[in-house]
Structure 1
């Protein structure tokens, strides 16, 4: 074996096994912490875990579960497991007593094996939680029993319903039995940050890239849509997201990509006249903040047509889905999207005037 390859191999092994060691240590330490928490609870008071660690749109979609579990266990001490990057989505939720910022799934596995929790609701479906460094999957026994997996999950309903079924909170293939409108818990610091941006009073917020390429619409099409919006309407066009892939010359366009936290982004969306974007995390923020959404969607993997949303977006009371059954989002023509967007903007304008 060449020296360079030998060094690469052992560097990889060092990072892998140090990561696994750290995950185990975190798991045992968390177990001790929650044993201490449990020892201080009143007699009969349960320690409950709810696990939905990623992605941020999924966490927003699952928010009604926090209130539903609270209604089932009003006196319980509820802990929500989440990845550190998404802590703010659950950290301000009044239904949740504590947030566990999960290092990786191995930490979770070690912690759950302690048996410290009286009730555990794992909201992930099969094949859905993986640590690439530990090279392990941690499976949810309820999802395995019900065969809810990455290939068929939308056969079980919208994301909220799928998560509630995966957690064993409701029977398989049933509707969510409580308030299904996702909520966010925006704080003063989020509004102050957006105040400092001095956005126009009338603006449309757009989101043009998801974390999964099959859901995307080509950048050149977005550029044409932004230019058309700027030419035809008196709105500022504000792009949000992690990073822009657009080249826009229109004066009405403003790029805020990479400048905001998740909840600051939610506050921008909340203030917008319309949200135009993809089936991705920010569209769930639009649903939770009450901004009318125009969502570009297409077929997805095994699903020729699907609906990920609950609440007002799910019922299309406060949203319009731009799609053609069986066609991926990337294949939607500019003319088709422009026509649908124009029909929504013009009809909503007439409604406001009346």
Structure 2
């Protein structure tokens, strides 16, 4: 073994085991916290955990579950486990008493093995329950018993239904039994940030890049769409997301990728006349904020024709899905997408 390889090996081991030590230490600290919470609960009052730590579209899709759990346990102290990056999505939810920002799966494993919680509602399955540093998986026995996994989950319904089944809230392959419209709880601070952007003119929001390449539509076709929209409609065109890869010169276009938080982005979408985007997190923001959506979708892995949304997007009451059965999103022609967008804009679906 070379010296360089020896250093790499022990650097990796140091990072891994120091991470595990930190996770376990934080887990024991959290146990003390939750024990203090439980001691102060009234007799018969439950301590309930809801686990949906990622990704932000999935957390938004899961929001109706918080209200459903509250209806089942009106007096419970409900704790939502989430990754720090998505804490704001749950922080203002009136159905949740406490948001626990999780360090990693190992920390959560330590906490739940202490059996403090009266009920653990696990909305995830194996692929979301993995820490790559610890190399630890936390299994969901309900999802395992129902054979729900990353390869087949859309065979069990939309995301809300899949997560509710994984959490043992509803029987296998059944519809969600309560209000299934996702909600967001935007605050004045988010409205004020968007006020400062001075988005006075009517505008259309675009989201052009997902975090999973098979869901994407080619960049050059997005650029064609921007130019066509600018030439034919009196709307500003605002792109949101983490990073833009568009190269357009029209004055109607504005790039807001990057500087906004998730909830600030939601407020931008809420004020838009239309949302045009991919099957990705921002489309769930569109569903939750009530802005009419034009969603470019294609076949995905083993799912030739799937629907991730509940509520008005899921029923296509406030959205249309631009897709062809069994055809990946990247293969949708510009003309096909253009025609669907034109139909929507000419019929005037925008929300006043």
Alignment of 1:178-197 (within 5 A): 178-197=178-197
1:132 has 2:135 as partner: no
Tell me the secondary structure at the aligned position of residue 173 of structure 1. coil
1:337 matched residue in structure 2: 337
Instruction: Give the deviation of 1:16 after TM superposition.
Output: 0.6
Tell me the secondary structure at the aligned position of residue 171 of structure 2. coil
Instruction: Give the deviation of 1:5 after TM superposition.
Output: 1.1
Instruction: Give the deviation of 1:127 after TM superposition.
Output: 3.1
Alignment of 1:311-330 (within 5 A): 311-330=311-330
Cα distance in structure 2, aligned partners of 1:23 and 1:126: 19
Cα distance in structure 2, aligned partners of 1:219 and 1:32: 51
Alignment of 1:18-29 (within 5 A): 18-29=18-29
Cα distance in structure 2, aligned partners of 1:257 and 1:14: 36
Give unpaired runs (5+ residues) of structure 1. none
Cα distance in structure 1, aligned partners of 2:127 and 2:281: 20
1:215 has 2:215 as partner: yes
Alignment of 1:1-354 (within 5 A): 1-348=1-348
**Could you list the per-position Cα deviations for residues 283-328 of structure 1 after superposition, in whole angstroms to 9, with x for gaps in the alignment?**
0000000000000000000100000000000000000000000000
**Could you list the per-position Cα deviations for residues 202-256 of structure 1 after superposition, in whole angstroms to 9, with x for gaps in the alignment?**
0000000111110000111101101110011000000000000111111100000
Cα distance in structure 2, aligned partners of 1:352 and 1:242: 26
Structure 1 vs Structure 2 CA RMSD:
1.1
Q: Assess if the C-alpha contact under 8 Å between 1:49 and 1:80 holds in 2.
A: yes
- TM-score of the two chains, using structure 2 as the length reference: 0.99
Q: Assess if the C-alpha contact under 8 Å between 1:242 and 1:257 holds in 2.
A: yes
Cα distance in structure 1, aligned partners of 2:125 and 2:81: 15
Assess, with a 3 A threshold, how the Cα gap between structure 1 residues 289 and 124 changes in structure 2: closer, same or farther: same
Stretches (4+) displaced over 3 A: none
Q: Assess if the C-alpha contact under 8 Å between 2:54 and 2:128 holds in 1.
A: no
Instruction: Give the deviation of 1:274 after TM superposition.
Output: 0.2
Tell me the secondary structure at the aligned position of residue 348 of structure 2. helix
The count of corresponding residues between Structure 1 and Structure 2 is 352
Instruction: Give the deviation of 1:352 after TM superposition.
Output: 8.5
Q: Assess if the C-alpha contact under 8 Å between 2:292 and 2:351 holds in 1.
A: no
Cα distance in structure 1, aligned partners of 2:176 and 2:154: 14
Cα distance in structure 2, aligned partners of 1:4 and 1:156: 49
Tell me the secondary structure at the aligned position of residue 301 of structure 1. coil
Q: Assess if the C-alpha contact under 8 Å between 2:279 and 2:296 holds in 1.
A: yes
Cα distance in structure 2, aligned partners of 1:219 and 1:137: 36
Give unpaired runs (5+ residues) of structure 2. none
Cα distance in structure 1, aligned partners of 2:210 and 2:36: 41
Instruction: Give the deviation of 1:148 after TM superposition.
Output: 0.4
Q: Assess if the C-alpha contact under 8 Å between 1:128 and 1:149 holds in 2.
A: no
Q: Assess if the C-alpha contact under 8 Å between 1:183 and 1:289 holds in 2.
A: yes
Cα distance in structure 2, aligned partners of 1:126 and 1:258: 30
Cα distance in structure 2, aligned partners of 1:331 and 1:18: 46
Tell me the secondary structure at the aligned position of residue 127 of structure 1. helix
